[in-house]
Amino acid sequence: MSRGARWARSSGWWLLAERPDTHRDEHDLARERRTGGTFLPDERRLKAGELPESLGRRYLLEFDTDELLQQRFDVLVVGSGIAGLMAALSVGPECKVGLVTKARLTETGTWYAQGGIAGAVGEADSVELHLADTLVAGQGLCDERVVRAVVGEAAAALADLEALGVRFDLAENGGVSLAREGGHSLPRVLHTGDATGAAIQGALSSAIRSADHVDLFEDHFLADLLTAGERCVGALVLDGTTRRPAVFWADSVVLATGGCGQVYRVTTNPRIATGDGLAAAWRAGAEISDVEFVQFHPTALDHADHPRSLITEALRGEGAYLLDCSGERFMAGVHPLAELAPRDVVCREIEGVMVRCQQPHVWLDARHLGEAHLRKRFPTIWERCKEAGYDLSAELVPVAPAAHYMVGGVKVDLVGRTSLPGLYAAGEVTASGLHGANRLASNSLLEGVVFSRRIARALHDGVPAERAARIVSGPVEQTAAFTIGAARSTLQQAMTGFAGMIRSEGGLSEAAAVLAGLSRLLDVSLRRTEELEVQNMITVAALITHAARVRAETRGAHSRVDFPERDDANWAGHLVWQRGTTPRFVPVPVSHARVPGGGDQ
Ligand SMILES: Cc1cc2nc3c(=O)[nH]c(=O)nc-3n(C[C@H](O)[C@H](O)[C@H](O)COP(=O)(O)OP(=O)(O)OC[C@H]3O[C@@H](n4cnc5c(N)ncnc54)[C@H](O)[C@@H]3O)c2cc1C
């Protein structure tokens, strides 16, 4: 029986089994045999149109490594959030590590994390319960081996953080204090007030500054990953002050560049979150996966700021409610966990209420929790609301969903290896298989620590790269002229308007048209980091939009009004692709696909 026919039996993929393979050439078929996936039939992928040609470009800049300043490291880490810092610290003093970060050491997504970090350490909790909650939130697309590894290593990962100086809040009985967040069946989230990320970032940053084996390069921008043959051999890095490029050769590169929320106008993500690492990995030819799944957070404060201030789910975990324009609670009755249902469920319900009420927000009611408790447990949120003119203990606060977390990214295996030899990745930039179609709250900080520890162990068994003699990237043809600020805001508007929380083919094709126009910017040779960021944002936005057009169903963080149901018969799998190919569909085992989703409960 052919592989195609076997899938047809197990996953209901009848269409594929009956089709001749005319749309796939020998190269595609060879890769399918190697990777265990299949390229999508024409009628599915063509609906999504073609990616702009410029996304085929290999390097952003013109350069000749022989003419540039050169440095050499055993390990080059890109990014200084929880994933990058833990990787740099975990590889140990026997390695010479270069750590590159595009802004200040502490300006990261990690810094802004409020709620905390999940771990089954409570007496009533267990690894099995944490696993089960993660699988339900992931709506059939989690890789159970990965989930088991991550939740199973949580206690060790948390101990590592504590050993590095992170202090979590304690309960009155002296044990660690655990909060409850969306999708968790019991309190499981360790926290430091409502500024857990800042506490973690502060402790790890101090440790890095005193680590002798790490050379720190703040204000240095990853322009591109360098490859020789089929291997990543280092990075082209731009000094933000002098604007001069330099070559950082390395035996191994660890990509830890975080998310890409800045491609949306309404987002909780800081300005650094422009998807540079994902775009660079794409250009270098690494496989990416699941990029259609962009998680929106249900409760960002609805005010004009960019980024929006987040109001952590832990506040709902302590008893705050969501109210509609009539002052009625609307989540009770929709899901057994009510306001603490998985994020996709709460977001979709909020969207429905906003349409029904013709208002750009719903209301968060925390008045009954009392001023003293709110100020003590949620000091950051108290201050943010106050700055925006709201008294959390006396008034309803307007909240609305905002782009929050990139579920997909660079595809990695269980030890953080990408498909490109020499390149590892950890944290939000990855698609590890942990989150499936929808991240369970507070699993991402945990993922960053666990994968960085695993990468560090794997690196010790790695093979040193042969030194590439010289890499040259030719001149870029100048075919367009743009105002960078206008390009950035046009892109953000288009993504929020047409490729945001609720999607349709009509809207997505509008977004694709705007992006196709903007993609001519990729043909312009630019040097300033703001300009390179916009080029990366165009690449990432085009990838999200394309994948969202291909996936004709609603699942987890991907909602299509024109395909409102989860469709396990046709879409229980991942879209995996790389530069120069169209998305490949990799089905998940049938047992995984049957896991009920949060929306089904
Ligand atoms: C407001 C908010 C609240 C959150 N709350 C929680 C929570 O309570 N619990 C939880 O688990 N998760 C939470 N998250 C998600 C979580 O914070 C992130 O997923 C996680 O911190 C990502 O860590 P990271 O190390 O992968 O990336 P980041 O911490 O974002 O770090 C990325 C690093 O890469 C650098 N970088 C990027 N591009 C380049 C480039 N071109 N060159 C050089 N350097 C580059 C950046 O400067 C930065 O140092 C929250 C996110 C936000 C935005």
Say if strands 288-289 and 409-411 run parallel, antiparallel, or are unpaired: antiparallel
Residue with the bigger pLDDT between 55 and 209: it is: 209
Alpha helices in 274-359 (DSSP H): 276-284, 313-317, 343-357
pLDDT recorded at residue 598: 41
157, 143, 158: which is closest to 414 by C-alpha? 143
User: Catalytic pick from 24, 343, 417, 439?
Assistant: 343
Q: Which residues contact 383 (CB under 8 A, 6 or more apart)?
A: none
Read off the tokens for 87: 């990787």
Report the nearest-CA residue for atom 14 of ligand 1: 113
Report residue 81: phi and psi, to 5°: -85, -165
Burial class (CB in 10 A: 0-12, 13-18, 19+), 72: middle
Round the average pLDDT of the chain to a whole number and report it: 89
Percentage above 70 pLDDT, the chain: 88
pLDDT recorded at residue 601: 26
Q: Which residue has the tokens 């944490």?
A: 130
CB neighbours of residue 376 within 10 Å: 11
Output the CA 187–ligand 1 centroid distance in Å: 24
Report the nearest-CA residue for atom 31 of ligand 1: 81
* Residue 589, phi-psi category: left (phi > 0), alpha (psi -120 to 50), beta (remainder): beta
pLDDT digits (tens, 9 = 90+) for 137-159: 999 999 999 999 999 999 999 99
pLDDT recorded at residue 17: 27
Mutate which of 102, 236, 343 for ligand 1? The one with the most ligand atoms within 8 Å of its CB, which is 102
pLDDT recorded at residue 299: 95
Closest ligand 1 atom, residue 280 Cα: 41
Angstrom distance (rounded) from CA 479 to CA 200: 45
DSSP conformational letter for 178 = E
DSSP conformational letter for 500 = S
Q: Give SS3 for 255.
A: strand
Report the nearest-CA residue for atom 9 of ligand 1: 442
Report the nearest-CA residue for atom 13 of ligand 1: 113
Ligand 1 binding site (Cβ under 6 Å of any ligand atom): 78-84, 100-103, 107-110, 112-117, 196-197, 221-222, 256-259, 268-269, 272, 276-277, 310, 405, 427-429, 442-445, 448
Task: Give the up-direction half-sphere exposure of residue 163: CA atoms within 13 A in the CB hemisphere.
Answer: 9
Angstrom distance (rounded) from CA 530 to CA 77: 21
Mutate which of 248, 257, 263, 432 for ligand 1? The one with the most ligand atoms within 8 Å of its CB, which is 257
Output the CA 491–ligand 1 centroid distance in Å: 21
pLDDT grade for 22, boundaries at 50, 70 and 90: very low
Output the CA 428–ligand 1 centroid distance in Å: 7
Mutate which of 76, 101, 268, 438 for ligand 1? The one with the most ligand atoms within 8 Å of its CB, which is 101
Output the CA 384–ligand 1 centroid distance in Å: 20
pLDDT digits (tens, 9 = 90+) for 213-246: 999 999 999 999 999 988 999 999 999 888 899 9
Q: Which residues contact 407 (CB under 8 A, 6 or more apart)?
A: 290, 293, 294, 295, 431, 435, 436, 437, 438, 439, 556, 557
Burial class (CB in 10 A: 0-12, 13-18, 19+), 591: exposed
pLDDT digits (tens, 9 = 90+) for 430-458: 999 999 999 999 999 999 999 999 999 99
Mutate which of 105, 188, 192, 272 for ligand 1? The one with the most ligand atoms within 8 Å of its CB, which is 272
154, 141, 137: which is closest to 445 by C-alpha? 154
Output the CA 464–ligand 1 centroid distance in Å: 29
Output the CA 484–ligand 1 centroid distance in Å: 24
**N- to C-terminal Cα distance for the chain?**
37
Angstrom distance (rounded) from CA 181 to CA 293: 20
Report residue 303: phi and psi, to 5°: -145, 180
Q: Which residues contact 258 (CB under 8 A, 6 or more apart)?
A: 79, 81, 83, 108, 109, 110, 272, 273, 277, 427, 428, 429
| Mean pLDDT calculated for residue range 512-540 | 88
Mutate which of 444, 453, 530 for ligand 1? The one with the most ligand atoms within 8 Å of its CB, which is 444
Say if strands 245-255 and 69-78 run parallel, antiparallel, or are unpaired: parallel
Report the nearest-CA residue for atom 8 of ligand 1: 115
Report the nearest-CA residue for atom 16 of ligand 1: 110
Angstrom distance (rounded) from CA 232 to CA 241: 26
Report the nearest-CA residue for atom 41 of ligand 1: 222
Output the CA 133–ligand 1 centroid distance in Å: 23
Strand blocks (E) in 493-537: 502-503
Output the CA 500–ligand 1 centroid distance in Å: 20
Closest ligand 1 atom, residue 447 Cα: 11
Output the CA 556–ligand 1 centroid distance in Å: 21
Residue with the bigger pLDDT between 83 and 482: it is: 83
Three-state SS annotation for 70-131: EEEEEEEEECCCHHHHHHHHHCCCCCCEEEECCCCCCCCHHHHCCCCEECCCCCCCCHHHHH
Dihedral angle sign, alpha carbons of residues 566, 572, 578, 579: negative
pLDDT digits (tens, 9 = 90+) for 555-565: 999 999 999 99
Dihedral angle sign, alpha carbons of residues 3, 293, 566, 129: positive
pLDDT recorded at residue 20: 31
**Which string of b and e fits 98-114 if b means at least 16 CB within 10 Å?**
bbbbbbebbbbbbbbbb
Pick from 89-93, 201-205, 465-469: least confident = 465-469
Pick from 16-30, 406-420, 473-487: least confident = 16-30
Angstrom distance (rounded) from CA 326 to CA 362: 10
343 is catalytic: yes
Read off the tokens for 21: 């393979």
Is residue 519 over pLDDT 70?
Answer: yes
Is residue 511 over pLDDT 80?
Answer: yes
If you write DSSP's letter for every residue of 336-400 in order, what string do you get? TTGGGS-HHHHHHHHHHHHHHHT-S-EEEE-GGG-HHHHHHH-HHHHHHHHHTT--TTTS-EEEE
Angstrom distance (rounded) from CA 252 to CA 262: 28
- Answer for the pair 492, 540: CB distance below 8 angstroms, yes or no: no
Closest ligand 1 atom, residue 446 Cα: 11
Output the CA 64–ligand 1 centroid distance in Å: 32
Closest ligand 1 atom, residue 314 Cα: 8
pLDDT recorded at residue 448: 98
Closest ligand 1 atom, residue 191 Cα: 8
Read off the tokens for 488: 């950035």
Output the CA 477–ligand 1 centroid distance in Å: 34
Report the nearest-CA residue for atom 5 of ligand 1: 113
DSSP conformational letter for 539 = H
Is residue 344 over pLDDT 90?
Answer: no
pLDDT digits (tens, 9 = 90+) for 275-315: 999 999 999 999 999 999 999 999 999 988 889 999 988 89
**Which string of b and e fits 521-556 if b means at least 16 CB within 10 Å?**
bbbbebeebebbbbbbbbbbbbbbbbbbbbbbbbbb
Closest ligand 1 atom, residue 404 Cα: 53
Closest ligand 1 atom, residue 442 Cα: 11
Angstrom distance (rounded) from CA 242 to CA 270: 24
254, 457, 463, 268: which is closest to 347 by C-alpha? 268
Closest ligand 1 atom, residue 116 Cα: 8
CB neighbours of residue 6 within 10 Å: 12
Is residue 7 over pLDDT 50?
Answer: no
